[in-house]
Amino acid sequence: MAPERAGFWTEIPQLTRAIARAMGVTFRNLLRRPITVRYPTVKRVYPDRFRGILALTYDGETGEENCIGCRLCEYICPPQVIKVEMLKAEKRNYAKTFTLELYSCEFCELCVQVCPTDAIIMLKSFDLATADRRELLLDKDRLHALGLQFEPSWATGNRLRDMQAPPKAAKAAAPAAAADRRAPEPAAEAAPPAPSSPDRRAPEASEGAPTANPE
Amino acid sequence: MTLPPLAYHALVGFVVLNVVIGMVTYVTLLERKFPARMQSRIGPYYVGPHGLLQPIADAIKLMIKEDVVPTAADRWVYNLAPIVFLVPCVLIFATLPFAPGLGVADLNIGVLFFLAVSSLEIVGLFMGGWGSNNKYALLSAMRAVNQIISYDLPFVFAALVPVVLAGSLQMSVIVEAQRGLWFGAYPVIGWLSFIAFLVATLAAENRVPFDILEAESELVAGFRVEYSGMKFALIQLGEYAHMIGTSFLGALLFLGGWLGPGSDYVLIGAFWFLLKAMLVFLVITWVRWSFVRIRVDQILAISWKLLLPASLVLLLAAAFWVAVRGGHGA
């Protein structure tokens, strides 16, 4: 439908076809069922790697808090929304306080990735909508309560590190690599670049972890 | 009927006016539900069963909203515009016969009255655009005047084809002339003029793809950008009334009005008429959700280079055909 004199008439057949096609598309859609999920009453099944609200976990067997207050999540958090204070104790350490400013969280899942004890996880839920920002300043009790309230996502620190570690065969073939944790890095380049780059810091993080979780 | 004619017409007029306003209210629901299904959505759902009370909720909301008048606005023009806009839009229903004998006034120049009054809406529209003292509103009103003047000609010519075929400007005569064959199904002349009528209707109603006057990305909401509350509701009411009126005209001129099985009974005839008019309205809506907005120069090119010559040729062809055959009617 160019304004030129020649184009106007020559384009009319093409235009007619285009009109028919466009109206055909809308008509076919008219006959389809609506795909709307009526959200508050019906909830769709979220994917396994859903990155939703953050929460703290309890140990499944002993019922103790998993968090050892190591502050790794605090260090890695890009928007710096996590603040942890460690409580030294006899057998293991605890988090004295654990605050998470969910209103500034960017849901990057890095804190989950670095957690040596699978203490912080993400949940398959996002509805914490509120009229008061202060309700999104989550403390330790609130985070633990949320963990019990919603279904957890698949990802935990150990699972993510297992997934991103070099294949088992490569590990066995290079015994020296086991001694020096920095050595497997070239092999780890096979992993997707975005998660692997923050993971560079994970080996230092999990220095003490292997004994803690023999999985 | 023992009532004096004046009282009878006043009564019918009152009923028609209220029916029209009720219809307009519910057509807004149709306008939301139907395209929702086209986009695989549901549309209004929670107010009443399947959103059936949504138009009423909208109306109540608009009535209790604050009525803001911009300080820089030309108060008289600004406040008068919605009424000037609404009156011709509702007045066009005066000559529409909904069924044989059921109508406010079956004028012998009914089509002429309809075409004349329906193009008066542009006065109210331009008053609104001018009185708002807002650059968007003014631009929009200018575009609207430009477009409506361009498209009233092909609109009138396309609407005159059935008039020529039927040999009368009286709506009921035009409908009765379609007893054998609807003018919309009349070979070639009828088909083409029905398409021309639909396209011209889209443009005259400022509907997508000819909705440059309310191009949201550039003009916010067009000439009604400064209106709120009940004045906004009046403008919306006028627009939808105008659109339904034009759908009724299309059903009358091209789809045989109230003709259909059992149309000897007034109510069944009225039912067929409503059904056909709603079909025309749905086609207009269907087009709206299938296309993107086109440019001003394209709109004018379509009007002056394609539609106007085509509808003129159609009108001449219809006149020629009637002369050759030596008689009116399908």
Is residue B74 domain-resident? yes
Please determine, for residue B283, whether its predicted confidence score (pLDDT) is greater than 60.
Answer: yes
Query: Whole-model pTM above 0.80?
Result: no
Q: Give the structural domain span for B277.
A: 68-325
| pLDDT in the model for residue B191 | 84
Q: Which residues make Cβ contacts (< 8 Å) with residue A148, sequence separation at least 6?
A: A58
Is residue B19 domain-resident? no
Q: How many residues does chain A have?
A: 215
Q: Give the percent of chain B with pLDDT over 70.
A: 98
**Chain A nearest-CA residue for B300:** A3
Inter-chain contacts counted by CB atoms under 8 A, chains A and B: 46
| pLDDT in the model for residue B330 | 54
| pLDDT in the model for residue A78 | 92
pLDDT tens track for B291-314: 888 888 888 888 888 888 888 998
Q: Which residues make Cβ contacts (< 8 Å) with residue B135, sequence separation at least 6?
A: none
Q: HEC profile for B148-200?
A: HHHHHHHHHHHHHHHHHHHCCCCHHHHHHHCCCCCHHHCCCHHHHHHHHHHHH
Is residue B266 domain-resident? yes
| pLDDT in the model for residue B125 | 87
Is residue B59 domain-resident? no
Which alpha helices (DSSP H) does chain B contain, by range?
A: 5-38, 54-64, 75-91, 110-118, 121-131, 135-166, 171-177, 189-204, 216-219, 229-254, 266-288, 296-301, 308-325
Would you call B41 and A36 a contact, using CB atoms and an 8 Å cutoff?
yes
> DSSP per residue over B47-78, as a string?
SSGGGTTHHHHHHHHHHHS-----TTS-HHHH
Spans in chain A with pLDDT lower than 50: 1-2, 177-179, 181-215
| pLDDT in the model for residue A200 | 44
CB distance from A134 to chain B under 8 Å? Answer: no
Average predicted confidence (pLDDT) for chain B: 84
Please give the Cα distance from B229 to B249 (Å, whole number).
Answer: 30
| pLDDT in the model for residue A188 | 43
Domain tally, chain B? 1
User: In the block, which residue shows the tokens 């803690």?
Assistant: A212
Looking at domain A54-209, does it have CATH number 3.30.70?
A: yes
And the tokens for B230? 């009940």
| pLDDT in the model for residue A76 | 92
| pLDDT in the model for residue A203 | 44
**At CB < 8 Å, which residues of chain B contact A?**
34, 36-42, 45, 286-287, 289-291, 294, 297-298, 301-302, 305-306
Beta bridge partners of B258: none
- Higher-confidence residue: A4 or B12? B12
Please give the Cα distance from B270 to B104 (Å, whole number).
Answer: 14
How far A136 CA sits from the closest chain B CA (Å)? 29
Distances, alpha carbon B164 to alpha carbons A82, B131, B173, B316, in Å: 80, 41, 12, 9
Is residue B26 domain-resident? no
pLDDT tens track for B135-180: 888 888 888 888 888 888 888 898 888 888 888 888 888 888 887 7
Helix (H, G, I), strand (E, B) or coil at A13: helix
Domain with CATH 3.30.70 in chain A: 54-209
